[in-house]
């Protein structure tokens, strides 16, 4: 199978096979980050631009590290240091950046749909690194990858997503990814933060934390997105924490081998107790590690389509591709040879 998407804008619209293909590609990349020299020449000579209009620690550094581990040149631009300050529109900024011929533009923006708008310019592949309350597709992929790593197949597993569902792009992307792969999803939170329209995706809704956690395989805690809340959705933070903070006691309702996820940044004591966040069931830092592999996979799949086609022709003509004198000392692997990942077939 090849990945035929030109842009990576969301989980919505991706088939089960496409999701599995990206996940399997990411799993093949994970091993590179375990090497002493964490670098392969796969994207040598390509430039990846990270354009971030919102603050970010994990996602931005993860995309940058992913690009660098593939030997691409990574350029970071944040709105606070760009011409946005001088009144330039997003489209003008994007047109100018694309004129410098990057291989891909990674965009984080507070407006839902901003990456879709850039994709319409169709000047280079656009990757959504989180758009408003809409989607955060690479986060969902790294979450699913982490769940698969611990629980095996996603099919038939029950995953609870707890907290501020209404404002969470992480929740939306995860609901789509998990249900496409056959998981049961339970949304848990105060009624004001649980949009009823989400029921159309076949998810359960719970307003009682303990009842919602009964027998679940994985729990994904969400941050209260206070920067997006336009009114009071609950009486006080204390009240919220009393009802929805994941404590050791609440955890007892879940399956004995449950895993705990959080996209970060965490508000300890509000949505998650430190004893849970740092406890034996937490896979929160593994999510961060897997994030690099997922972003390597997405960058690779979006920026090598053309070359893969060329490679097919060259191979047909008996020529080696991409083997000319590399200055990167790396162990040989599928990535060094610019081949389609060995494991990227089926689940
Ligand atoms: C996001 O960008 O949506 C984060 O990863 C989650 C959060 O901000 O709470």
- Say whether 210 is catalytic: no
Task: Flag the least confident range among 11-15, 58-62, 228-232, 304-308.
Answer: 304-308
Q: Report the separation in Å between the CA atom of 264 and the middle of ligand 1, taken as the mean of its atom positions.
A: 6
Q: Report the separation in Å between the CA atom of 47 and the middle of ligand 1, taken as the mean of its atom positions.
A: 25
Atom of ligand 1 nearest to the CA of 169: 3
Question: Domain 16-135+290-316 carries which CATH code?
Answer: 3.40.50.1370
Pocket of ligand 1 (CB under 6 A): 130, 136, 139, 169-170, 223, 263
- pLDDT single digits (tens) 79-106: 887 777 778 899 999 999 999 999 999 9
pTM of the model: 0.88
**Mean pLDDT value across residues 119-140:** 96
Strand partners, 158: 184
Question: Domain 137-287 carries which CATH code?
Answer: 3.40.50.1370
Atom of ligand 1 nearest to the CA of 54: 2
pLDDT of 268 strictly over 90:
yes
- Say whether 58 is catalytic: yes
Question: Measured between alpha carbons, how far is residue 239 from residues 12, 39, 245, 270 in Å?
Answer: 34, 48, 10, 10
- pLDDT single digits (tens) 288-298: 999 999 999 99
User: Can you read off the two tokens belonging to residue 105?
Assistant: 């533009």
CA 128 to chain centre: 9
Sheet containing strand 259-261, edge to edge, reads: 204-206, 184-188, 158-162, 218-221, 259-261
Q: Report the separation in Å between the CA atom of 288 and the middle of ligand 1, taken as the mean of its atom positions.
A: 13
C-alpha triplet 275, 279, 283: angle, nearest 5°: 130
User: Can you read off the two tokens belonging to residue 28?
Assistant: 């093949």
Catalytic residue, from 7, 69, 109, 136: name it. 136
Catalytic residue, from 46, 60, 69, 108: name it. 108
- Say whether 134 is catalytic: no
Do the two domains 16-135+290-316 and 137-287 of this chain adopt the same fold? yes
| Domain locations in the chain as residue ranges | 16-135+290-316, 137-287
- pLDDT single digits (tens) 207-257: 999 999 999 999 999 999 877 777 778 878 999 999 999 999 999 999 999
Q: Report the separation in Å between the CA atom of 326 and the middle of ligand 1, taken as the mean of its atom positions.
A: 37
């Amino acid at each position: 199978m090849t990945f035929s998407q030109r842009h990576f804008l969301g989980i919505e619209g991706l088939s089960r096979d496409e999701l599995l293909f990206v996940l399997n590609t990411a799993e093949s990349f994970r091993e590179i980050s375990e090497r002493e020299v964490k670098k392969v020449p796969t994207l040598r000579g390509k430039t990846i631009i990270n354009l971030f209009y919102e603050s970010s620690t994990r996602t931005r550094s993860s995309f940058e590290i992913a690009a660098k581990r593939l030997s691409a040149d990574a350029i970071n631009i944040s709105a606070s240091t760009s011409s946005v300050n001088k009144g330039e529109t997003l489209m003008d900024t994007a047109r100018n950046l694309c004129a410098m011929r990057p291989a891909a533009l990674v965009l984080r923006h507070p407006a839902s749909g901003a990456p879709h708008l850039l994709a319409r310019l169709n000047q280079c592949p656009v990757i959504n690194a989180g758009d408003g309350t809409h989607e955060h597709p690479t986060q969902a992929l790294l979450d699913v990858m982490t769940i698969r790593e611990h629980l095996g197949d996603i099919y038939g597993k029950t995953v609870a997503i707890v907290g501020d569902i209404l404002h969470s792009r992480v929740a939306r992307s995860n609901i789509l990814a998990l249900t496409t792969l056959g998981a049961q999803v339970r949304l848990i939170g105060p009624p004001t933060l649980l949009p009823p329209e989400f029921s159309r995706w076949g998810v359960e809704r719970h307003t009682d934390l303990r009842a919602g956690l009964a027998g679940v395989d994985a729990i994904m805690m969400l941050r209260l997105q206070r920067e997006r809340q336009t009114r009071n959705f609950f009486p006080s933070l204390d009240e919220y924490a009393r009802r929805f903070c994941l404590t050791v006691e609440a955890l007892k309702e879940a399956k004995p081998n449950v895993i705990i996820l959080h996209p970060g940044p965490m508000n300890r004591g509000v949505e998650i107790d430190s004893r849970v966040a740092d406890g034996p069931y937490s896979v929160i830092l593994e999510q961060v590690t897997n994030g690099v592999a997922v972003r390597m996979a997405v960058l690779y799949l979006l920026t090598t389509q053309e070359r893969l086609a060329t490679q097919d022709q060259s191979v047909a003509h008996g020529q080696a591709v991409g083997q000319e004198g590399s200055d990167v000392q790396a162990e040989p692997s599928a990535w060094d040879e610019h081949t389609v990942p060995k494991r990227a077939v089926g689940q």
